[in-house]
Every structure is written in structure tokens, then in C-alpha cells.
Amino acid sequence: MAYNLLSGTVVANESVVFQPSSNGGEHTNAIVGEFHGNGQYLENVARIVANGTTDYVLTVGANNDSLVGEPNLRFNGSRLLVNGQVTASTMQLTSLSAGQATTSSFLALDSNNNVVLTSSAGGPDYAIAQGPVNSLQFHSSPGDISGSDNFTLFGSTLFVTGNIVVSGNIEAHGFDIIQTTLVEINQSGSSVLGNSNDDTHHFTGSVSVFSSSVDLFAVDVENKSTKIKTGLILNRTAITSNYSVLVSDYYIGIDTATPSAVITASLPAAQSLQSGQTFVFKDEGGSAHQYGIMIKASGSQKIDNQNQLVLESPHASLTIYTDGASKFFIT
């Protein structure tokens, strides 16, 4: 027969109730009611044995009957304060209120994925963004990055103030140089401008072509002159029969040794040519006296007031130029 020994004084404000046994047997000896007193001599009752400070969250101590206040885990009814690391597989923050950031300390993620408190100077595993808004960041010193007003990105536009030195290739769909007074292209190899025959390249100012220190070709815009210190190669077209002169022709050499009739060279319309454009006709075969070489203007246009001219002397030649409008002239 079991029994309980209760020492001390028990005051029950309600009737003592005996709980029925879980197996349907006799009543157990459990007393239901209220206990008044400090209970310091009660056994098998958990109590705070250390750090009983306000707001400390209680944890189990050395045994089931001891509770210990944890100074690193506090709850004041609305805020949970943790002094130490927090490990979580997920974290969701809701109803956050805005606060005032300071430059004295920052939250950062170290190499072990721990959130740590760091200063603005950074550390070996992390660095804090510096410089003006929209500035691109670059390595400035060990552990630090920085930014500059001279290197910024606004939307999809990159702004660079200063010089750019490129050792590799630059590829772009468009390349515009604006608001500049000087452009230098220095390259040890060849340079290519344009990629089709209809491209137009405009230069303002004089142009010179050098071999070492000698200017072999120069266009002087101020004095409106061109200097050439090389041999001059002009286009030559050789013909043995009637021929329509092209805009690209200069020398037209006529072989009169084999023809059996007059050879006619028909000029293009003057308005299709540039003012001052010149053609040179030459009897290269030396037999113009037999059949003759006819130089004929287009339509009703004139060569020194004549619609056509005939070369009839052996090895004869004729040089003409145009006004680029309606006439040709013999030089």
C-alpha cells in the first residue's frame, strides 16, 4: 500500500479532489488546489536557481528541478534580444520600421556566411561601397573599394571623365567623338576606315602623309595647295575601237596600228563630271593620219565651240578639261 508524506502546512481553498486512476482502479493520491507560501522546502518542484533577472528567458539547469535565467536571451514583452549568433535555415522579416543608418558600424556577411558587425573600414573578407551615387566601384587598397565622380553609370550609359588607355580591342555599334578639338590615332600596324564604297569620310584642316620624317603628300587647306613628293600614277585606258569615255578615265591611249576605220571616243556629259576634270587622248599607234581619231562631245555640248574634233597627225595628242556643266576646253 503506497502513501505520500506531506510535511509542512497545506491550505486548500477548494475541496480536495482525488483523480481517478488511468487504469480504472482506485483513486490516485493527487491533490488539486492552491499552495500558499514560498515553497522553499518543497522537493521535485522546478525553481529559478541562478540569474533570476527581469526579462531573462529561463532555461533548464543542471536537472529538471532547476531553472536558470539566460543573460544572452532576453524578452521584454515586445522585443527579443539575442547576444550571440543566430542560426536559421530561413528568415522572414515583416512590419519593419525605417531607421537612421550610421557610418560607425555595418552588418556584413563573412566567408562562413555569418552575419557580423563591422566598421566602415571593412576587413579582410569584405568591403563597404564608397564614393558618390552611381559610381562604379574599384579596388583602392587592401580590403577596400572606392568610387569616383569620373567613372559613373546612369541607367545604360557609362560616363568617363579623363583619359582611357586600352591595350585590347574596342567593339561598338556606334562610335561618336563629340566636343573635342584633337583626335590622335597612334598604332604600330595598319588602320582601316570604312567598309563600303559609299562611305564618306570628312576631314577639316590640312592632311599630310609621312614616310619617316618626310611629308610625301600634303594638302594645305590654308594656302589651298597640294604637295606631292612621289611619282604620280594616273589611270590609263588602252582602246583599239570605238569607246565611251568613263568618269574614272584620265589617259586614253588609242592603238591606230590595226583599225581599218576612224576610232571614235565619246565623252560623258559634262554635268556628270567635276569642274576641272581632265582627259588626255593620245595616238599611241602612230597611224592617226590614215583613218583619224574622233573626239566627240555628248549631245549638243561643245569642245571649244565644236561638237567634235579629229586627230589626223601621227602620234597626235589632245588634252581637254570641263567646266562640269556643259562645255569642254582644249588646253
- Over residues 28-57, the pLDDT tens digits come to 555 555 666 666 666 666 667 777 788 888
Tally the residues of the chain: 331
For the ranges 4-13, 55-64, 89-98, 260-269, which has the lowest average pLDDT?
A: 4-13
Most confident of 62-71, 93-102, 163-172, 277-286: 277-286
Structure-model confidence comparison of residues 240 and 143, the more confident one: 240
Please tell me the distance from the alpha carbon of residue 238 to that of residue 258, in angstroms, as a whole number. 13
- Over residues 132-152, the pLDDT tens digits come to 888 988 887 776 788 899 999
pLDDT band at 248 (very low <50, low <70, confident <90, very high): very high
DSSP code for 187: -
Cell of 18: 482525488
Please tell me the distance from the alpha carbon of residue 233 to that of residue 282, in angstroms, as a whole number. 17
Handedness of CA 162, 166, 172, 175 (dihedral sign): positive
> pTM, whole model, 2 decimals?
0.49
Domain architecture of the chain: domains with CATH: 1-77 (no CATH), 105-163 (no CATH), 203-229 (no CATH), 236-330 (2.60.120.640)
pLDDT value at residue 4:
45
| 105: Cα within 13 Å, side-chain hemisphere | 5
**Alpha-carbon separation of residue 201 from 86, 196, 204 (angstroms):** 67, 12, 10
Number of other residues whose CB lies within 10 A of the CB of residue 28: 13
